[in-house]
A = this chain, B = another copy of it.
């Protein structure tokens, strides 16, 4: 990192001189806290760390739990990379970065629980600096296999509280963006029940920067908010609160579901639905594509893939089953934050 030359030039939105150190420290701590707490919840599995370096600049630490009691596989990675040019997929959105060296870091996590009643969950927070521009991105989203409205509601309500402390437009905008981003166009399904997603947050007041390059359409995109400018400190505080909200958003769901018994039918459906996770990550995911385009560490990029997966030609759930309810209600955008047990 010491060889990297700072080139931030925009005067009104300048990050502090120690921006990278502070974000890096936060993202490493987030990785540490999540791993510690997940090990405690699992009770058996432990994370094994691989530290790695990237030839073109930077490196990271990948931590994987294999064959835990609760988590069949979990990966939590931190990486910090720099180089000469950002890939074309990002320069389209940030043309000001063209011709400048870049600095990027992030913490990513995907958990694949053993029980089909515990949802898969994904988290990613990241920070970029490139010439005159910098931005934060990230989010968290939940992918249940079986439909429990209270789980989806708890997850969304927790993330909404974190967002609302910083700006009332954040949750509604980033919730919709999440539904749009984690969408499998070829299946016409959301990946799960969503959460929040944002990218290119540089304080300039435009919250929404989609749809992505795969052309997922957002009929509502024009209605999404423009807000007053935010400075670097305000954005960093927002991202910290989002990151710190993950454990309270997810762990109560794990605790609620881990004792429930399941059989082969639930297991087979889980393995089948995991195929959608693979399809999304390899066909659409911006983080995966960025990683592969920048010659990232393949094993770390693909540690999000499930340990065991099944495809079945032309599968359709039986009508009036929990599996059918997942498709009909949970794989379409819903206002989960407003859900309550009384008005389901």
Interface residues of A (CB under 8 A from B): 50, 62, 64, 66, 73, 75, 185-187, 271, 275, 278-279, 282-283, 292, 298-299, 301-303, 305-314
Contact = CB atoms under 8 A, between A and B. Distances in A.
A255 B187 CA distance: 38
B187 A298 contact: yes
A136 to B, nearest CB: 27
Contact of A308 (B62, B185, B305, B309): B309
B313 A310 contact: no
Contacts of A279: 282, 302
A40 to B, nearest CB: 22
Contacts of A307: 310-312
Given A275-B305, A279-B282, A305-B275, A75 B313 contact: yes
A289 B164 CA distance: 40
What DSSP secondary structure best describes chain A's contact surface? Answer: mixed
B283 A314 contact: no
Contacts of A303: 313
Q: Which of A301, A306, A313 has the most CB of B within 10 A?
A: A313
12 contacts: A62-B313, A64-B314, A66-B312, A73-B313, A278-B282, A299-B314, A302-B311, A305-B311, A307-B311, A308-B310, A309-B310, A309-B311
Contacts of A62: 313
Nearest to A299: B314
Contact of A66 (B275, B292, B308, B313): B313
A79 to B, nearest CB: 15
B50 A314 contact: yes
Given A292-B186, A298-B187, A313 B64 contact: yes
Given A283-B283, A308-B309, 5 more contacts: A66-B312, A279-B282, A307-B310, A307-B311, A308-B308
A309 B275 CA distance: 9
A185 B279 CA distance: 18
Nearest to A281: B282
Contacts of A305: 275, 311
A71 to B, nearest CB: 13
A64 B312 CA distance: 10
A53 to B, nearest CB: 16
A209 to B, nearest CB: 22
Nearest to A301: B186
A189 to B, nearest CB: 10
